[in-house]
Amino acid sequence: PAPGKDAGTAPFGYLHCGPSGAGHFVKMVHNGIEYGVMAAYAEGMNILKSANAGKRQRTADAETSPLENPQYYQFDIDIAE
């Protein structure tokens, strides 16, 4: 559990959700949300896989140049004490 929070409302490992059959409905809703999230992940991964990322020549810019050529960006700073 998160710091400062209780462990939840299921002290015996199960949750009483209401009358008979309510737990099945809760599980059905949970599974629907879970499968929807997994489908969204799969769609996003497919978009990234099909995208043109990493297939074109990169241009140097202020963000990537120091990472590719660190020898040109080393500074010695002497601070008088």
Q: What count of residues does the chain have?
A: 81
Active site residues: 27, 34
Q: How far is CA 19 from its chain centroid?
A: 36
One-letter amino acid identity for 19? Answer: P
Residue ranges of E strands in 1-81: none
Nearest-angstrom CA–CA distance, 25 and 18: 10
